[in-house]
Amino acid sequence: MSRTQISEAPAFEKVNEHGEFTSGTMGDSAEKFKLETFGRIIGITRQAIVNDDLSAFDRIPRAFGVQAAQLESDLVWGQILLNANMGDGTALFHANHGNLLTAGTIGEITVAEARKKMGLQTGLDGKTALNLSPEYLIVPKALEVAALKFVTSITPAKTADAVPSEIRNLTVIAEPRLDLGVARYGIAGSATAYYFATSPTFVDVVELAYLEGARGVYTETRAGFEIDGIEIKARLDVAAKVIDWRGLSKNAGA
């Protein structure tokens, strides 16, 4: 799939007294990714079914569903941790993208920098101010309490200690894969790095894509002949890709 982004419309120009309009152009960029197929087969003997006091057979479809959700999360968070090159050949989090922040702990200074840099992001034309704002503070579990403390509203004893509510108005997302990494792809995590994300309403952030007409896990069963029993196969066609770096920023922490 080639996810194409269309740039902003050309800026308006003043029309002279003869009413002549000038032509403008629009650019585009694209992020490319492809679906991959994942799946497993599990076999259950007839004797296991006959003696199934724990109803394991009934729980297998649900168990496959849980594993599918785990896979989807691995794909999405793997995109964040991998920091792979985007369509322009530059890493997702990079100084050239204006989304790599000065390392520091969660606080007014670091959040203010995130707001400033995200707010100064421009469209594909390099001119249109997007004026984005972080809405999510994404942290490893090691920083969950620190993040929750920061966003909690308090009444300071002195005016100088006051932190504007707009800075604290962040939704905290704590994800253990940021600590542990994604073992499936050999990607290491970090207990200090944290991230900011804007609302996907304003720009595309991460896209989770499925094969058309096959959203979710597909399961089928086959009865054995030489061996009494049933085989259950589960399959999922899925992919994930960061679409736009402008809505994300990273702080390596301290």
pLDDT at site 53: 57
pLDDT at site 221: 84
pLDDT at site 28: 56
- In which element (H, E) is residue 109 found? helix 108-119
Domain boundaries, the chain: 37-251
The predicted-structure confidence for 17-34, as pLDDT tens digits, reads as follows: 767 776 766 555 567 778
pLDDT at site 47: 77
Q: Please say if the pLDDT value at position 248 is more than 90.
A: yes
How confident is the model over 47-66, as a mean pLDDT? 75
- Read off φ and ψ for residue 198, nearest 5 degrees: -85, 175
> Which pTM was predicted?
0.78
How confident is the model over 81-92, as a mean pLDDT? 91
- 80: its two tokens: 């964040």
The predicted-structure confidence for 87-107, as pLDDT tens digits, reads as follows: 888 999 999 999 999 999 999
DSSP string, 45-60: EHHHHHT-TT-HHHHH
Rounded distance, CA 194 to CA 177, Å?
12
Provide the 10 A C-beta neighbour count for residue 47: 10
Closest CA relative to residue 5, chosen from 32, 25, 29: 29
Cβ neighbours of residue 143 under 8 Å, at least 6 residues apart? 106, 174, 191, 192, 194, 253
Rounded distance, CA 209 to CA 215, Å?
9
Beta strands in the chain (DSSP E): 2-6, 28-32, 36-45, 136-139, 171-174, 194-197, 206-210, 218-223, 229-242, 248-251
